[in-house]
Structure 1
């Protein structure tokens, strides 16, 4: 039995982009290249529809390339490199507890379980329609395929975690928080840190752009002022991924590592 971790770029998005591109192309041919519309309107439609067709086509190609790059079965296996990179930071005592927020198909939770065979790993996710191919059942099947028996998967919400303060020795997450609709993702990070034990580790990999998270350097300073012993914002472009190309630079993101006294 082989695990199936799916792909971080859903096929549905690629097919949707392809459909939109074809629609714009048909409209471009009908209204920009034939005599259905004449005069100035034809010129305007020619330019506008051509631009829309090109933009939609470029985005579709970009998504297709991402799908290929993130494939677990592909040549580059970026997803596997990222998962293993994040999991390598997580080491807890025997009997410890690890929380993976937004576990998706279970990849990071299972990797952490392998690195910490005597710990309990809980993966939570809301498994929304955006990633319909991901589910709790898929996570459980993947754990069985990897012969991992120290994982548990359940529904959960990163905005309000259903756990007491200082429950976990480590908390992990990968490419999740930037997808959560919020004007203040730093507050969501603080909610995650609430369930971390003193001396624990929070290893988060995400796209830490200013538009998504605000000033992360200021947030790092804020955490240090709050008493967190070690706070690092690590550029993972070269650290986790090999043969990383400039086109993926925004998606490479950074890892936020936090340890508390």
Structure 2
């Protein structure tokens, strides 16, 4: 399906995240170790927070390993919060508007997984989107529609509750259409200050997701590692698969969980779908 990473901490060059690591995201685009597909070559995207109120994004339909502009930009741009995603399409076209991360205002969103039998449920899901939000949908993926369902249910006010309602509605809709396991997901979203990462699937066998252990502890264990010496103590990474084999560096995010990262603080909470409210009570902002 896809691979992604979410970074927060002291500003780092995008190249350090995308190219420099043993199992970097660009390496994973050709040789994923834990993904459903070994190759994720159907485009990529990077989102980062810099000088403007809204995050910048760069999308390309080229494979990440062969895009010269990505290597050029990432060697010069740095940021303290970065989302990056490499894509393996589950059926929607390879086009820039279908590349993650998706953006709405200050919010970024990316997804690994799929809404099962999307063509069967797409109409019902689309009609649930708040009318004021609907014109902002640019592509044709299940992932972007999932984002706008979460926005419809109040992502900007309460992300865990909104995602739980969106997942609840997706499951309810899928099962009404005879879909046994309606959703498979690892999701990351951020407003530029906090990152929320979710791991869940209807069948209880979710795609892989990891987060790094405390940087200050790792520095003591690995004093010769240059990357660890450069980043701040509050640096945090959430990744589809570990970026390297450094002993003790990675912990798996448990099944059916929501990881919340703000500054150097992180909290793990159980995650489960909840019944979606009626459209009239859903909250959204455009």
* Higher share in helix: 1
TM-score w.r.t. length of structure 1:
0.29
Larger RCO (CA under 8 A, 6+ residues apart): 2
Structure with greater Cα Rg = 1
* Higher share in strand: 2
